[in-house]
Amino acid sequence: MNPTAVFNVLASAAFAISTQSSAIATTRFATAIADEPPTTETSPISSLPDGSWVAEVPVEPFPRPVMIQLAVDGSTEPSSITASIPVLGMFSGTPIHRTVEDGVVRLDFASVGVTCQMDLRAATPAGIAGVFRFKGEALGEMGGVDHAFVLRPVPDLLQIPEVERHEAVLQLPGGARLPFSILLGEVDGAIAAEMDIPAQGVNRIVMFTDAEATATLAESRPGSIVFRVGMPVPVSLAISPVDGSWEGTFTQGPTELPVTFSRAEGPAVVADFRPQEPKPPFPYEVVEVVMPSPRGHELHGTLTIPRETGERGVPGVVLVSGSGPQDRDETVLGHRPFLVLADRLATAGIASLRFDDRGVGASTGDFASAITHDFADDAATALAFLGKAAGVDPQRCGLAGHSEGGAVVALVAAGEAATAPEAKPAFLVSIAGCGVDGGRVLEDQLPRIYRASGLDEATVESISKVQKELIAVVREAPIDESALLEAIRDLHSAQEKLQAEPFTDDIRATLEAAGITQMTSPWMTSFIRFDPATAWRQVEVPVLAINGTLDTQVAADINLPAIEAAVRIGGGSVEVVRLEGLNHMLQPATTGGPDEYGAIKTTMEEAAMAIIADFILETPARRSVDGQPRGDA
d(CA 490, CA 619): 50
Distance CA 130, CA 566 (A): 56
With vertex at residue 249, the alpha carbon angle to CA 220 and CA 204, rounded to the nearest 5 degrees, is 115
Better pLDDT: 15 or 483: 483
CA 188 remoteness from chain centre = 37
Residues 370-421: pLDDT tens digits?
999 999 999 999 999 999 999 999 999 999 999 999 999 999 999 999 999 9
The CA distance from 475 to 437, in Å, is 10
Alpha-carbon distances, residue 445 vs 8, 434, 613 (angstroms)? 10, 12, 29
Q: What is the pLDDT of residues 378-391, one digit of tens each?
A: 999 999 999 999 99
What residues contact residue 602 under an 8 Å CB cut-off, 6+ apart?
275, 276, 587, 588
**What's the one-letter identity of residue 354?**
R
Task: Name every residue whose Cβ is closer than 8 Å to that of residue 309 and which is 6 or more positions away in sequence.
Answer: 351, 390, 391, 392
Edge to edge, what strands does the sheet with 225-229 contain? 208-209, 225-229, 235-242, 245-252, 255-260
Q: What is the spatial distance between Cα 446 and Cα 253, in angstroms, rounded to a whole number?
A: 27
Distance CA 275, CA 266 (A): 19
Partners of 134 in the beta sheet? 116
More confident residue, 599 or 478: 478
Distances (CA, A) of 563 to 412, 434, 437, 484, 573: 15, 8, 11, 31, 11
CB atoms within 10 A of CB 433: 32
Task: State the average pLDDT over residues 353-363.
Answer: 92
pLDDT of residue 272: 63
CA-closest candidate to residue 259, choices 244, 245, 247, 242: 247
pLDDT per residue as tens digits for the range 226-268: 988 766 566 789 999 999 999 999 987 778 899 999 998 866 6
Band (128; pLDDT cuts 50, 70, 90): very high
pTM of the predicted model as reported, rounded to 2 decimal places: 0.81
In angstroms, the CA 627 to CA 633 distance is 13
Looking at residue 40, its pLDDT comes to 38
120 SS3 class: strand
- Closest of 198, 219, 351 to residue 275, by C-alpha: 198
Rg (CA), the chain: 25
The better pLDDT of the pair 15, 189 is held by 189
Residues 183 and 193 sit within 8 Å (Cβ to Cβ): yes
Residues in a beta bridge with 559: none
What's the confidence (pLDDT) of residue 46? 63
Partners of residue 425 on adjacent β-strands: none
Give the pLDDT confidence score for residue 329 in this predicted structure: 93
Q: What is the pLDDT of residue 41?
A: 42
Bridge-based pairing of strands 190-197 and 23-24 is antiparallel
Query: Dihedrals φ, ψ of 430, to 5°?
Result: -100, 110
H-helix or E-strand spanning residue 191: strand 190-197
The segment with the largest mean pLDDT, out of 35-39, 352-356, 592-596, is 352-356
pLDDT the model gives residue 32: 34
Which range (20-29, 165-174, 182-191) has the least confidence? Answer: 20-29
Mean pLDDT along residues 282-291: 95
Higher local confidence (pLDDT), 115 or 112: 115
57 has pLDDT over 70:
yes
pLDDT, mean over the chain: 86
Mean pLDDT, range 604-615, rounded to an integer: 98
73 forms beta bridges with 80
